[in-house]
Structure 1
Amino acid sequence: MTTQIPQNFVQAIAKERGVTDAELETVFMALDGQATAAIATKLGISDIAVRKRLGEVYKKFQIGGNGPGKLSELRHQLLFLHQTEYGSSDFSPRGKGTLSKIAILSEGFANGQRQEDWGEAPDVSVFYGRTEELTTLNQWILSDKCRLVAVLGFPGSGKTTLSVQLAKQIQNEFDFVIWRSLRSPLAAEEFLANLIQVFSNQQKPLIPADFSANFDRIVVEYLRKHRCLLILDDFESVLNAGELAGHYREGCAGYRELILRLAEVDHKSCLVLISAEEPTELTLLAGEKVRYLKPTISEEIAREIFHEKGLSAKDQEWKELLARYGENLLAFKIVAATVSEFFEGNVAKFLEATGLFIEENISNLLAQQFDRLSGDEAEIAYWLAVAQIPLSLAQLREDMLFKPSLSDSLKNIDSLSRRSLIEKINEGQETVFVLQPLIVKYAAELLADRIRDEILEAIKTQVTDRMQLLKSHKLSANAATLKGAKDNPSLDILGLVKNRLQSLFLKTTGYEAPLNILTTIAADLKDKSVLEVGYAGENIANIISELKSA
């Protein structure tokens, strides 16, 4: 390189800014004075691809403008950063703008004012795509000076990884960078006290117990005087399970006050929330200084994940993979490992052999989310799992024996949306709802397990008092639902129940005795009203029919 900066120093700085290996290789050649055409020839790419890579580097170093001056500005920034870290008397920064900002922050850090506390932030050594999302978040935080930004999405969608990459890119624009996970949350009062200690350079300041006093101190002394980036991961952990989404756990209501006041009070800092569940107040606060983003997976990211494992797939195979695993990056990583290890790298064989594949880690994530649902939300999820196609609100309510009010139905749908479990699709004049593919699979399997348990309990006791789902949910889709439904026998609820019972009966009692008991129960239910037994009679009759046809 013609510059006097060691390559390992440039590499370290570039990685902090989110520069990829391909971009780094290209910029090394450019800094060494090689022309665009020569770089393209050596790397086996086009001139346009070289310029695109360099453009990404300039963007990550916040270098604007046009023409060859950008490379010179990059070299000057790198030289200045190197001299600042290792010291030199013969270097003086020129001009203002980006370099003067770096100089100010470096001076502040030397005086103990600038701090970074990454807490439980995960190490992100590999990062794919997300250029559009990063650009948007950079714009909101640095240019638009948003006070609150939320990154929302289902577990495994990559929101934490995206947020780490974002924070690394913009960290030099802040006097304080603080990352905290709320997976094991403190009370809001304790959390604020902890922040004051961090802002006070880990000293033991006098900290009042009062929430308002602590909040006012943080805002007046730190968030207004300094540019602070505060990131709270796993925010859903302070929200309550078993009721509609977005409501706070006992002892955690102070976090709601924290969000409201940080969003509304004037300051020059930014709070970034990372959550699988959207707090109720976020929609009301959204505006000029409060925004939220729900990252979506792209085929580009999925292909990069597979490419890292040395895998490739045809266009139709990609279409099937994206349809099955939706926006779950964790699922794609696990599928790529499974294809590589058990299917000799053959994606087609994997798709043919597995159907919708849910590995244990994914299953645990799905269970954690499903366990957070209220009873009414779970009922809707089960109905959508039975249907397996998008349903309108009217279709969804059609077969419910005890229909909730329209207002309550809308609240439940909205709550599922806040959890990123349900998608809204506009079809002409009608809005329909569908579960994420992995949730459909999980809900169908869970429903089948619980129906099996109710059947076994009925066979054991020969009474129907403990039947719940057998009474409340019609397991065979009605004609309106079946119209246009996809043929997906692997998720047919009656088929799943039959398979579970069939396997159990073959290993234990055989078919005859349990079928006789079920037939007797079905006969007893036949003459009872729907209000008394719901769908239990129809469901048991259909299960008997399935078992006899096996």
Structure 2
Amino acid sequence: MPGRFSLKASKRGKQLIKEAWKKLIVIHGTTIASASDMNEIFLREASKILQPDKNWDNVSEDYCAISEATLKRFREAKERITGSTFKIFCQVLNLNWEDVAENEADTNRDLSEAPSPINFYGRIQELAELQQWLSQKDCRLALIHGMGGIGKSTLARHLADRVADKYERLIWLSLESAPPFQKILIKLVQFLSKGEQEEGDIYQLMQYLHYQKCLIVLDAWEEIMDSHSADYTIYNVFVERVAKESHKSCLLLLSRRKPDNIAILEGKFVLSKKLLPLIKKDVKEFLSAEGLFGTDIELDKFSERYNNPWILKRIIQKTCLQKIKGLL
């Protein structure tokens, strides 16, 4: 879909902006009484570059050609802004915009709300099956469900890294605290439009999923199921449209429970996988890699008692290179 050029700072770029901003504060220190004063000075300088023919000395002090909200987006580096404005802001900060901006790979992937990659044990078969769903099959809607701590997010994070090159755009959003659907919709529209649309509706969102091959991960779906709000209905409208309409993309849901409507939708384009506790072999691999040891009998008993990855991690955090026998 056509759109104007837009940019966002990379992680390194955000640090460069922070350092350059501190230098500006030092330069203008005697004229700054508050943070808003520095914002005003900065935006006035940016306005002079954007509209050089305007007599800015005779313009009201509280007027600038660029909004303070746009400056906030630039500094926080969470959302994209138009390329021309991004370059002007960098110019005011005496920075090379190419050093500040995300590269193309960063632009097409947003894992800021995803868990950090961690050591991964077992789940070889599950990972291979899910990878096939997202890489080779025409899967529009996939669900990974299972009890808390069983490893849904960890598995999905490794899955996302493996299939990222199969998708033009990839974004991970957390549904903790049951955010209103409109908030999630805005994030998706802004990301998929590369910052060119501030907001939109489900129809526009579906258009992006049709024209681009996108992977959207919504983590903690049970938060929406438990919210008992009107938003749950709207979320489900979106999910059902993703499942039923023809498009190039995939929506991956992570949930502690399997929603009834997804069970009904299951078929060629809608697939679900329940994660079970780790098998003995995987628990032993986990323990060995983390420095816990014991006899075969002790390891077998431990593996039967503890097979939830979250519980295993808590145990390991409280122990250090000790025998399993002391934990039985």
TM-score by length of 2: 0.64
Match of 1:468 in 2: none
Tell me which residue corresponds to 1:291. Answer: 271
What percentage of aligned pairs have identical amino acids?
Answer: 29
Q: Is this contact kept in 2: 1:113–1:175, CA < 8 A? A: no
Q: In structure 2, what is the equivalent of residue 238 of structure 1?
A: 224
Residue 178 of structure 2 is aligned to residue 185 of structure 1: yes
Shift of residue 251, structure 1, vs aligned partner: 3.1
Structure 2 portions without partners, runs of 5+? 1-101
Structure-2 separation of matches of 1:177 and 1:112: 10
Residue 135 of structure 1, aligned match among 124, 128, 132: 128
Tell me the amino acid that sits aligned with residue 230 of structure 1: I
| 1:300 paired residue number | 281
- Matched letter for residue 224 of structure 2: V
Shift of 1:282: 1.3
- Which of 200, 209, 212 is the aligned partner of 1:226? 212
- Shift, 1:157, TM fit: 0.6
Deviation of the 1:339 alpha carbon: 4.4
1:350 paired to 2:296: no
Report the secondary structure of 1:172's partner residue: helix
Residue number among 216, 231, 234 corresponding to 2:203 in the alignment: 216
For residues 22-47 of structure 1, the C-alpha deviation after alignment (integer angstroms, 9 at most, x for no partner) is xxxxxxxxxxxxxxxxxxxxxxxxxx
Q: Are the counterparts in 2 of residues 299 and 322 from structure 1 also a CA contact under 8 Å? A: yes
Instruction: Report the CA distance between 1:174 and its aligned residue.
Output: 0.7
Amino acid at match of 1:331: I
Q: Deviations over 1:76-121 (max 9, x none)?
A: xxxxxxxxxxxxxxxxxxxxxxxxxxxxxxxxx9779961111311
Q: Provide the C-alpha distance between the structure 2 equivalents of 1:160 and 1:202, rounded to a whole number of angstroms.
A: 27
Give the secondary-structure state (helix, strand or coil) at the position aligned to 1:312: coil
Tell me whether 1:317 sits opposite 2:298 in the alignment: yes
Q: Secondary structure at the match of 2:232?
A: coil
1:193–1:334: structure 2 CA closer, same or farther, 3 Å change rule? closer
2:284–2:303 CA contact under 8 A, matched in 1: no
Return closer, same or farther for 1:111/1:151 CA change in 2, 3 Å cut-off: closer
| Cα deviation 1:507-530 (Å, max 9, x = unaligned) | xxxxxxxxxxxxxxxxxxxxxxxx
Question: What amino acid does structure 1 have at the position aligned with 2:150?
Answer: S
1: CA distance, partners of 2:256 / 2:243: 20
CA contact 1:188–1:253 (8 Å) conserved in 2? no
Q: Deviations over 1:492-543 (max 9, x none)?
A: xxxxxxxxxxxxxxxxxxxxxxxxxxxxxxxxxxxxxxxxxxxxxxxxxxxx
Which amino acid in 1 is paired with 2:229? R
Relative contact order higher in (CA < 8 Å, ≥ 6 apart)? 2
Q: Is the 8 A contact 1:146 1:291 kept in 2?
A: yes
SS state at 2:262 partner: helix
**Cα deviation, residue 345, structure 1:** 1.0
Q: 1:227 to 1:313 in 2, by over 3 A?
A: same
**Residue in structure 2 matched with residue 451 of structure 1 by the alignment:** none
Q: In structure 1, how many angstroms separate the alpha carbons of the residues matched to 2:327 and 2:105?
A: 55
Q: 1:258 aligns with which of 235, 238, 242?
A: 238
Q: After the TM superposition, which residues 485-504 of structure 1 pair with which residues of structure 2 at under 5 Å, given as runs?
A: none
Structure 1 segment 495-534 matched on structure 2, within 5 A? none
Contact 1:151–1:294 (CA<8 Å) still a contact in 2? yes
Contact 1:233 1:275 (8 Å CA) reproduced:
yes
Gap change, CA 1:233 and 1:111, over 3 Å in 2: closer
Asked whether 1:272 is paired with 2:259, we answer: no
Judge conservation of contact 2:144–2:254 (CA < 8 Å) in 1. yes
Structure 1 314/116 Cα, relative in aligned 2: closer, same or farther at 3 Å?
A: same
How many angstroms apart in 2 are the aligned matches of 1:262 and 1:237? 20
Equivalent pair of 1:234/1:275 in contact (CA under 8 Å): yes
Contact 2:175 2:223 in 1 (8 A): yes
Mark the CA change 1:111 to 1:159 in structure 2 (over 3 Å): closer, same or farther: closer
| 1-structure distance, mates of 2:139, 2:289 | 36
Describe the superposition over 1:150-204 as per-residue Cα deviations: whole angstroms up to 9, x where unpaired: 1111111111000000000110111100000000332223322221111121234
In the TM superposition, what is the alpha-carbon distance from 1:135 to its structure 2 partner? 0.8
Q: Within 5 Å, give how 1:52-451 maps onto structure 2.
A: 115-205=108-198, 207-208=199-200, 214-220=201-207, 222-240=208-226, 248-296=228-276, 297-326=278-307, 328-340=308-320, 345-351=322-328
Give the secondary-structure state (helix, strand or coil) at the position aligned to 1:277. Answer: coil
The answer for unaligned runs of 5 or more in structure 1 is: 1-108, 209-213, 242-247, 352-550
Provide the aligned length of Structure 1 versus Structure 2. Answer: 226
Q: Tell me: CA distance 1:113–1:265, structure 2 relative to 1, closer, same or farther (3 Å).
A: farther
How far is 1:270 from its partner?
A: 0.4
* 1:312 CA displacement: 1.8
Distance 1:191 1:298, change over 3 A: same
Work out the CA distance in 2 between the residues paired with 1:339 and 1:112: 39
Query: Match of 1:144, SS?
Result: coil
Change in Cα spacing, 1:144 to 1:112, as seen in structure 2 (3 Å) is closer
Higher helix share: 1
Letter of the structure 1 residue corresponding to residue 249 of structure 2: S
Following TM superposition, by how much is the alpha carbon of 1:289 offset from its aligned partner in structure 2, in angstroms?
0.8
| CA–CA separation in structure 2 for the residues paired with 1:298 and 1:136 | 17
Give the conservation status (yes or no) of the 8 Å contact 1:122–1:164.
Answer: yes
Check conservation: 2:280, 2:304, Cα contact below 8 A.
no
Q: 1:345 to 1:110 in 2, by over 3 A?
A: closer
Q: Is the 8 A contact 2:140 2:250 kept in 1?
A: yes
> Matched residue of 2:215: which SS?
strand
**For residue 296 of structure 2, what is the amino acid of its counterpart?**
D
Partner of 2:95 in structure 1? none
The amino acid of 2:118's aligned partner reads S
